[in-house]
Amino acid sequence: MFKKILIANRGEIALRILRTSREMEIETVAVYSDADRNSLHVRFANEAYRLGGPTPAESYLCMDRILEIAQESGAEAIHPGFGFLAENAEFVERVEAAGLVFIGPTAQAMQVMGDKIESRKAMMKAGVSVIPGMAEPLSDSCQAEQVAHEMGYPVMLKASAGGGGKGIRIIREASEMKGAFTIASGEAKNSFGDGRMYLEKYLEQPRHIEVQILADTHGRVMHLGERECSIQRRHQKLIEEAPANYVDIALRERMGAAAITAAEAVQYRSAGTVEFLLSGGEFYFLEMNTRLQVEHAITDVVYDVDLVEQMIRIAAGEKLTLPDSMQPRRHAIEVRINAEDPENNFMPSIGKIGNIRIPGGPGIRVDSALFNAMEVSPHYDSMVAKVISSGSSREQALRRMCRALQELHVGGIVTNAGVALQLLQSKGFRAGTYDTGYLERFLEAAGPVERSVPDDLEEIAAIVAVLHRVHTATGKVPLSSSPSSGLNPWVAQGRRQELLGSRS
């Protein structure tokens, strides 16, 4: 087993890896940008080294500096977390060339699965069902129009090297193709350095189901069930749960077997996730994420396994010792808490954190690197925490999540917690009948609501105190001055959180 590993990431995922490493009695090396000098992962690690300036290009994407620190610190392996260099095949090759171990898959597996076109080819060759579409990149928008006409609208225009919702457009008629192609291709070029595009048939109201894979270096590949990831906004996940809704044991095993076939086709090792779209009772390969997923925690809880520990043990050459067939023991839900403003088209919210209240109690886990006086930077992803609830049933896990979000308070910034709470309380979510378009339809349908009038003097006084404090700090009153404009439900929930915070 390794004696020391370097964690090439920041925030909650760096803390997550650090904590498991400490339990395994492995020393940790943290790296940080100037913006993260006072972060928790820096304080908790055995050693910490400065990377550079606040931007990712100056810090967490700087391969030379990370490898230099690894050699200087005596680290034997590097865990990339997710994001930044986690799926960069060149980084894997450079880590191994430096005589270090990369805690993750091989560069070859990343190269195949990181390219949407190449992964489609590999899956078709392996006999895994893929969404009807192209296996070669488009030359231009004219060819795209011709292929789309033959395929039949609507279609999905996708970047070959895309991810995180970038370089993707839904095209419903020919007149939309030229402009969408130019924008999506340019977006992909800027984000991934690769502007190649291809087309898939667009599936109306599918569900997004992903299967967790573990594979060791001794030829064993297994799956740890599925996660429901259909609650998305602009292809970015907000809420995930496991097990998935209306996926019985037979379907779970079919999808698991397909995921194992996909992993074996690229000689995969480590933790990975095979993503499918489920429509009309059939599932289709979407992509494979060759890294630890943001939502891995719900699989941890449901299957009573530490996926980070498994990744480290696999990288150290150990065999998987988990049972061949594992069944879900609990139900778990995860909500991503993002620093973004629902009143302002979910634009990022930055500021200094204050008056934090982290939820707790039975069945609640919070993965977060938040602390009072922390500066939320504009340079990184907006996710600041993950709240995970679990219970013996979906209903219990859902009740616990609603309680946790009502307890949560993050002062100094605006978050999406109120939106998530309203969504969890919606009929469609409670019934488990949602699909990938549910959140967008929910946001579109959620109009202004009448303001509730407090019925006790204590609550009125507390609200006035909150308004006075916000007005003093910002010069603005945080409620609309127009009585007819109403108050969105998620804004109302945010005010309720602020009210509760003023009483704590």
Catalytic (active-site) positions: 291
Q: What is the CA radius of gyration of the chain?
A: 23
DSSP assignment string, 245-281: TT--HHHHHHHHHHHHHHHHHTT--EEEEEEEEEETT
Owner of token pair 């967790």: 212
Contact 49, 75 (CB under 8 A): no
Q: Do the bridges between strand 364-368 and strand 383-391 make them parallel or antiparallel, or are there none, so unpaired?
A: antiparallel
Owner of token pair 């991503």: 336
CA distance 52 to 48: 13
Residues 6 or more apart whose Cβ sits within 8 Å of residue 477 = 467, 470, 471
CA angle 89, 95, 97 (to 5 degrees): 105
Burial (Cβ within 10 Å: 0-12, 13-18, ≥19) of residue 77 = buried
Residue 359's alpha-carbon distances to 18, 368, 396, 411, 423, in angstroms, are: 22, 11, 16, 14, 19
Give the sign of the dihedral formed by CA 304, CA 307, CA 309, CA 314.
positive
SS (H, E, C) 87-127: CCHHHHHHHHHCCCEECCCCHHHHHHHHCHHHHHHHHHHHC
Contact 428, 471 (CB under 8 A): no
Q: How far is CA 308 from the centre of its chain?
A: 16
CA distance 435 to 429: 9
Q: How far is CA 321 from the centre of its chain?
A: 28
Residue 380's alpha-carbon distances to 290, 397, 486, in angstroms, are: 21, 30, 33
Give the count of beta carbons closer than 10 Å to the beta carbon of residue 201.
Answer: 17
Q: Which tokens in the block code for residue 83?
A: 């994001």
* Local structure of residue 325 (DSSP, 8 states): S
Residue 354's alpha-carbon distances to 360, 375, 376, 414, in angstroms, are: 18, 10, 11, 12
| Amino acid type, 500 | L
Q: How far is CA 484 from the centre of its chain?
A: 37
Residue 309's alpha-carbon distances to 77, 109, 294, 314, 368, in angstroms, are: 14, 21, 15, 9, 19
